[in-house]
Every structure is written in C-alpha cells, then in structure tokens.
Amino acid sequence: MATTTNSVDGEAGSAGNALGRLFRMRETGLILIIAVLFIVMSFASPYFLTWDNMRAMAMAFAVEGIVVVGMTILLISGGIDLSVGSVTALAMVIAGWLFLNGLDPWTASLIAIAACTAIGAIMGFFVTRVGLHHFIVSLAVMVIARGLCLLGTGGRPLGLYTLPLEFKFIGQGSIGPIPVVIVIFVLFVVVFDFMLRRTTIFRKVFYTGSNEKAAAYSGIRTSKVIFLTTTLCAALSGVAGIIYMARFGSAQPTFGVGMELNVIAAAVIGGASLKGGSGTILGAILGTILLSVVSSSLALLDVSIYWQDIIRGSILLTAVTIDHYLNKRRG
C-alpha cells in the first residue's frame, strides 16, 4: 500500500492518479515528439545525425537551459521574469569590463554573478514588499539592464582576447568527448530537479504557487519564497552569462535579446503553468530540447529564419492549447 513516490506530482501513484498521468503524459509525449523529429530528420538530412550536429545542438540549448531551470522554478512559485536575456548580457558585460580593468576573470565572474543576484533581490523587493507585479517589475529591469550593458560598453562588444585558457575551458573545453558546457548544464539540471522534488524549501515553492493564500494559512512565508525564486532566477541568468562569455571570448551588450520568450516558451511547453503551482525541470528541459531540435532542423532544411519564428510560436500556441483543454477536463 505504501507506494514510495518521490515527487510532488505523485508519478508513482495509483492508476487513478489523473495528475500523475497528465505529467507522465507530458514528459513521455515530449520525448516521443523529439524522437519522431530525430527519425524524420535523419532521413531528411544526412548531416543531422552526426556527432558534430548533435554537439552543436546541445551546445545551443545547454547554457540557455540553465536559465530555463531558474525560470521554471520562478513560474512554479507564480512569478515570471522578462529580464533574463538582459541580465545574462549584463553578467557578461560586468565580468568583461572588470577583466579588462585588470581583475582576474574568476573574481570578475563572481562579482558579476553577485550583481545579477542583487538585481534579482531588487526585483524580489519590488514584488513582495512594494506589491508590484512580476511582469511589470521585470519588464522595467529588462530595459534598465540592457541600458546598463550599452552604457558600459558604448554599444560595442568587448573583445576579451587575453582570457586565460583555463577560464575559456568552461565554455570551450571538453572532458573526453563531452563539452564542459554540457557537463555544467547536466549538473545544474540534476541538482535542481532533485531539490525541486525532494527538499522542503522547494516544496514550499509549489505550495506558494498552487494557492498563495492557503500557503500563508499554512504558516509559509510566501513573500520570502517568492523573493527567493525571483533572486534565484536572476542569479542563474548571471551564471549563464559567464558561461557565454567564456564560450565566445567576448562580452556582447546586445546578447540575449528575445531570450526570455524562448525560455518561458520552453518551460511552458514542458508543463509549467503561468498560474503557478505546476511544472518540472525535466519537462522544461525537454521543452528546451524540442525547440532547439526544431530550430536546428529548420536550419538544416534551409528554411528561412523568418519561418523559424513563426513555427516556434505555433508550437508554443499548440502546447498551451492542449494544456488548456487537459486542465478543463480535469476540472
């Protein structure tokens, strides 16, 4: 009787567990779609199923995937962050600027991540203390952070040609055949997925997002929870920015424009709800992979870049529509 299940969603629950089934369906469904895409593409393009292409695709979504982790947790708590792209760029610019002014890259990076964390804390303050909506606060910060990037660089990329090799290793190196970027990404995913499923602190994130009032009436300090998820999302954006910098060997003030839409779309395709209370890291990462595979496939098939946006948007709309109907049936 005492089935052991280690998730909030009760995946290993009884056969009658509608919610568990739904989540299983979501993740297996995504895997199936990705698998079908792989099979079709391997016939359509001989280049698709090569190691180089796989590696390129993984590199493309891995760093963004770290931001997706932060966004998913924030969405579960009921928030949203539109500033992730700008904050990622700001991390690059701050670290790059400090490096060019003589600081060693490691310290510079830590300071940059700390600055992004502080930006998250400021957003958290405006949301929980002042009482403004996440959407508006992060929209403002998105614009401000981008402004800071351009101000600090005069709008031009900072070339960091003297970055030491061991720092560039983060973004460009490999451990055996596996790029370091992917190792870092997998680490983040595994750690946060585990924490989200198992730790009390992240359970409180689910409670808060599921019903903020009931969470408060369970003695949970919901404003603290929302403050933390907001800060965490910005901090992870900062981490992503540093990895990008190591990969590109430069700091680009215009990097990450539109990233927020990709990241939110991935999380939502993976099952996170904008209303809060639901979502998994695994689902969100599958959402990221799906979007990345689609982009890469379309590029290989020589589809115009403009069509790619249209197709990505349609995938998002389809996923959300399916979700809406499943939820309606459940209610």
Partner 1 sequence: MAWAFPSNAVVNAMDHPVILKISNLSKSFGPVQALQGVDLELRRGEIHAIAGENGAGKSTLMKVIDGILRPDSGDIVIDGKAVTIASPTEAQKLGIGFVHQEIALCPDVSVAENIFMGVTNTSKALLMNYADLRKRASAILRQLGDIDASALVRTLSISQQQLVEIAKALTLDCRILIFDEPTAALTEREAKILFEIIHRLAGQGIAIIYISHRMAEIFDNCDRVTVLRDGRYITTHDISDTTPEQVVAAMVGRVIDKLYPEKQRADEKSDEIILDVSNLCEAARFRDVSFKLKKGEILGLGGLIGAGRSEIVKGICRLEGDVTGTVALHGKPLSLAHYGDSIDAGLVYLSEDRKGEGLFLDMSIASNISALAVERVASRAGLINAGRETRQAQELGRRLALKCGHVNDAVSTLSGGNQQKVAIAKMLSVAPKVIFLDEPTRGVDVGAKAEIHRIVRDLARSGVGVVIISSELPELIGVCDRVLVVREGRITGEVAGDDMTEENIMYLASIADERPRAA
Decide: residue 90, CB within 10 A, 0-12 exposed, 13-18 middle, 19+ buried.
buried
Question: Least distance in Å: CB of 18 to partner 1?
Answer: 7
Distance CA 294, CA 316 (A): 12
Question: Least distance in Å: CB of 288 to partner 1?
Answer: 24
Binding mask 262-281 for partner 1 (x = CB under 8 A): ---------------xx---
- The residues with which 175 forms a beta bridge, in sequence order, are 178
Query: Which residues within the stretch 278-317 sit at the binding site for partner 1 (CB under 8 A)?
Result: 278
Any residues with CB less than 8 A from the CB of 52 and at least 6 apart, and which? none
The DSSP 8-state label assigned to residue 26 in this structure reads H
Asked if 29 touches partner 1 (CB under 8 A), the answer is no
Asked if 156 touches partner 1 (CB under 8 A), the answer is no
From the list 4-12, 24-32, 96-104, 112-120, the region that binds partner 1 by CB under 8 A is 4-12
From the list 101-109, 117-125, 138-146, 192-200, the region that binds partner 1 by CB under 8 A is 192-200
Distance CA 24, CA 27 (A): 5
Please give the structure tokens belonging to residue 128. 């929980």
Q: Which residue, 13 or 249, has its beta carbon nearer to partner 1? A: 13
Distance CA 255, CA 248 (A): 11
- C-alpha to C-alpha distances, 295 to 40, 62, 110, 298, nearest whole angstrom: 14, 14, 32, 5
Q: Which residue, 111 or 216, has its beta carbon nearer to partner 1? A: 216
Among 4, 101, 162, 304, binds partner 1 (CB under 8 A): 4
Q: Which residue, 208 or 295, has its beta carbon nearer to partner 1? A: 208
Q: Which of 222, 251, 221, 220 is nearest to 105 (CA)?
A: 251
Distance CA 117, CA 119 (A): 5
Asked if 6 touches partner 1 (CB under 8 A), the answer is yes
Among 16, 131, 154, 176, binds partner 1 (CB under 8 A): 16
Question: Least distance in Å: CB of 17 to partner 1?
Answer: 6
From the list 77-85, 156-164, 198-206, 256-264, the region that binds partner 1 by CB under 8 A is 198-206
Q: How many residues interact with partner 1 (rule CB under 8 A)? A: 41
- The residues with which 251 forms a beta bridge, in sequence order, are 158
Q: Which of 233, 245, 274, 292 is nearest to 84 (CA)?
A: 233
User: What is the contact surface with partner 1 in residues (CB under 8 A)?
Assistant: 1-10, 12-14, 16-20, 198-201, 203-204, 206-207, 210-211, 213-221, 277-278, 330-331
